[in-house]
Each structure stands twice: as C-alpha cells, then as structure tokens.
Amino acid sequence: MSADAEPYLKIDGRRRLDGEIHVNGAKNAALPCLAAALLTDEPSRLRRVPDIEDVHRLLEILETLGIESKFEGNEVEIRPSGTSAGSPPDHLAAALRASFLIMGPLLARTGQGSCGPPGGDPIGQRPLDVHHAGFRALGALVEVSKERTVARAPNGLHGTTIVLDYPSVLGTENLLLAAVLASGRTKIINAAMEPEVICLAEMLNQMGARISGAGQHTVTIDGVDRLSGFNQTLIPDRIEAGTLLIAAAITDGRVCLTGVNPAHLESLLAKFAEVGIPVERTSNQLILSVDPHAELQATNIQALPYPGFATDLQAPMTALLTQVTGISTVQERVFEDRFKHLDELRKFGASIVVKKSVPQIKGPSRLSGANVLGNDIRATAALVVAALSADGESRVYGVDHLDRAYADLPGQLRALGADIELLPSADTLTN
C-alpha cells in the first residue's frame, strides 16, 4: 500500500497549546501486568489501562491461553479458566514485542512455554538472548529456532543468581514473572530499573510474591508456591506525558499535565531546564509554560536505560531540538536503528547532519508543512510534534503506529488547541 492509500493526520501548525490534560496509564506497565494473569487461577482486575492496540492484542493472546477478559472504561477484568501450556498464534505474537512476556509465566506455571518471533518496532536487532539465558539459568531447556522459542522445565524452575548481559526491560520482567514461582531464591543482577518494572514487582508482591529491590540494580525473588489474583492500578505513562510536554514546548505552549509522576520524568525535566523550558511540579502535576520571546539553548541528549534519558522520548525530543538555538547532539545508546525520523524531519526543513553516527541538529529552523511517514511509534509521534510547529499544513502518515501505544494523542492535542484531524486516505477523499 502506498502512503497515499493510508489514513493520515492533517495538522495545521503554529497553534499554541494551552490547557490541562490527564495522562493515561502506562502501556509498558500494562503489558507485563496483564501477562501476570497467567500466574494465577483467581480473577483479577487491572485499572487505568490505556485503550491501545498493544493491550488489545495481548488480551487476544491471553485468551488463546485460557485467560478471558473484559475491557471496559479503562479497566480490565480477568477471569482465568485454567492456564494451558499453549502457544499463541504466530500472527498475534508478531503484533507486539511484549507477546514474549507469556514465556516466563507459562514456564513457571505449566513447565512449558512456546512463542513465535515477537514483533515490535523495527528500531534495532532486538535479540532475546537475555531472556533465553535467564530461563536456562533457572533450569529450563530452551530451544531457539527462526520459527519459535520453545522452553521446557519438566522438573520446575530453581532459583539462582542471574547476571543480565544488558538491563533489558522485558528481559527483567520475563525473569521476574518466571522466578516468582521458582523454588528458592533468585537474584537478578544488572536488572532494568524502569518504573514499569517496579510497577510489575509491586503487583506481583500484592499477589503474594516475595520480591525485593525492584528499581535497583539487583532484584531478589524468593519463590512461592502459588499466587492469588490482583487488583492493581497502573502507573501513569511517562512517555505519553513526555510526548505531550515536548509538544507543548515546541508550540511555546502553556500546559498542565495531571495524574503524572514527575519523579519518572527527571531526565527529561533536567534537559528542559538546560534548554530553558520552565516546568513547575506538584506531587502529581507538571505545568509547563514557555515564554515565546525566550531564546531556548541547544543541548546534548544521550538515550540510555532508566534513569537516563528515555529512548522512547529521543525522537520527539529531536524534533524539539530543531527549535532551539545552536547545535544539539543526540546519541542513541539503547537501540542501534532508532533514527529513521531524521530524514522525515529534514522534509520539514530541519537542519540535521550525522557525524560519526551522531546527529547534530542546528537550530532554530523555521519548519514548513510537509507530507511525512512515521516508521515506528515514537518516530511518528516526533513527526506530529514537528508538524505542530511547522508553518501551514502537514500530513503525517503511519497513524497505525500511534494507535499501538497512545490512547488518543490527536484527541489530547486537539483538546489543547492543536488543529489536528484524522483523515481517511487521500484515495478515499478523491473517490
């Protein structure tokens, strides 16, 4: 399908965002927490769940494994009918990266797990060796082929010390989901420290697990025999919040985000302070107000594991850096192929050169409306951000990427005063 045959966002730029918006629950916390439903036979409830495609796909996967659910008003009610050692259909596994999170719980509960290649954004190679090595350390036999991963633990999983080669987020979560029902003590060293990992660990503890140290480099898990259901509210989505803050900043806006956890956004707020964007905070609000006459200063970004600058905000931040004075550099240290938005940003008139793999952004550039195509979730969000500050009309294609992760980014931006509209394909319009 050519880009012209896709729906697109029509954005008329240079409207100052103004107003208050409530942030949704976190996608990357919803997914592991939902996978935890495989660990119990009791009914459960998850609250503040974002209404996004990745959540719906994971619920479909869980249904194939014996977990029925109802999604209503941002709450998911879960009714297990007996977790079965199955394998989700390959097309569902391929729909999202987090499909692989069924492996840890299935291994722990049924002694067997199987999953086709998980999908996810094309932002790097994204191997699964951290997951595989962790399952093996816990005593599983893991067979890996191009078609699928099959893991078996006929004698159960046994606690041990696992040193992760890399603090993988989903890797840490998968091993937590497995180790909670392993016999004895597991230590995960070099664990991911993301808030979403803490959210999962807290929920597992509420179910009866014994996890300590989540959010630190070393997490300790003392295995238990069984877990009860959960009744948990998700943390706010720090990436949605960051995207909205960046969108507000690029329009010289004045926006109050409610229902956020400012502590999860320290690395972004520190960069805003360097650039000259003031943000006031309360315990659960962030209020950003940019003086249109202030000159914003260039800065350097390095995307890193938490608590470093979030790789998921690198692309939107790159769009903002086109509007600050001087040369900013952006280094991506998490995913090796997460710069596909640069060519598209240039179409708006951004001045970006790449020296020794490091993009240098010279600003400020006056951006003009352009037709652009997003290739992944956050790249598409970055193009929306750029279009908000561009003169005239832009068309942003790749809207389906946004639907995977943002409950309603266009609607939120419209509520703040953006001129943004979802339109069917150009073909449809001319027919």
Output DSSP code: residue 220: E
**Pairs from 351-355 (Cβ < 8 Å, separation ≥ 24):** 351/322, 352/318, 352/322
C-beta atoms surrounding 144 within 10 Å: 14
Question: Of 142, 169, 219, 373, which lies in the binding site for ligand EPU, with binding defined by CB under 6 A?
Answer: 169
- Whole-number minimum distance, CB 367 to ligand EPU, in Å? 24
Among positions 98, 249, 277, 386, the unique one binding ligand EPU when judged by CB under 6 A: 98
Q: With CB under 6 A as the contact rule, which of the stretches 42-50, 126-134, 363-371, 418-426 interacts with ligand EPU?
A: 126-134
Among 112, 243, 299, 311, binds ligand EPU (CB under 6 A): 311
**Of these, 45, 126, 340, 362, which contacts ligand EPU (CB under 6 A)?**
126
Q: Does 307 bind ligand EPU (CB under 6 A)?
A: no
Two tokens at 39? Answer: 């660990």
Q: Which is nearer to ligand EPU, 98 or 241 (CB)?
A: 98
* The binder of ligand EPU chosen from 15, 57, 109, 131 (CB under 6 A): 131
Question: Angle, to 10 degrees, between the axis of helix 266-275 and the axis of helix 314-321?
Answer: 10
Least distance to ligand EPU, CB of residue 31, Å: 5
Q: Is 186 helix (H, G, I), strand (E, B) or coil?
A: strand
SS3 34: helix
Nearest CB to ligand EPU, comparing residues 137 and 324: 137
Task: Kindly give, in sequence order, each residue whose CB lies less than 8 Å from that of residue 254, ignoring residues fewer than 6 positions away.
Answer: 16, 17, 18, 248, 287, 288, 289, 290
Is 320:385 a contact under the CB 8 Å cutoff? yes
Q: Is 35 in the site for ligand EPU (CB under 6 A)?
A: no
Where do the H-state alpha helices sit in 144-286? 169-179, 195-206, 238-250, 266-275
> CA nearest 268: which of 229, 296, 307?
307
Q: Which stretch binds ligand EPU (CB under 6 A): 166-174, 183-191, 264-272, 341-349?
A: 166-174
Closest approach, Cβ 35 to ligand EPU, in A, equals 10
Query: CA 344, CA 352: separation in Å to the nearest integer?
Result: 11
Query: What is the dihedral angle through the alpha carbons of 122, 128, 130, 133, rounded to the nearest 10 degrees?
Result: -170
Rounded least distance, CB 126 to ligand EPU, Å:
5
- Calpha distance 413→410 (Å, rounded): 5
- Please identify, among the stretches 26-34, 73-81, 204-212, 227-235, the one whose residues bind ligand EPU according to the rule CB under 6 A: 26-34
Residue 134 or 363: the one with the smaller Cβ distance to ligand EPU is 134
Q: Under rule CB under 6 A, which residues in 105-124 are in contact with ligand EPU? A: 121, 124
Report the DSSP beta bridge partners of residue 351.
362
Question: Please, which of residues 344-403 interact with ligand EPU by CB under 6 A?
Answer: 377-378
**Does position 335 bind ligand EPU by CB under 6 A?**
yes
Which residues make up the interface to ligand EPU (CB under 6 A)?
27-28, 31, 97-98, 121, 124-131, 166, 168-171, 192, 311-312, 334-335, 377-378, 405
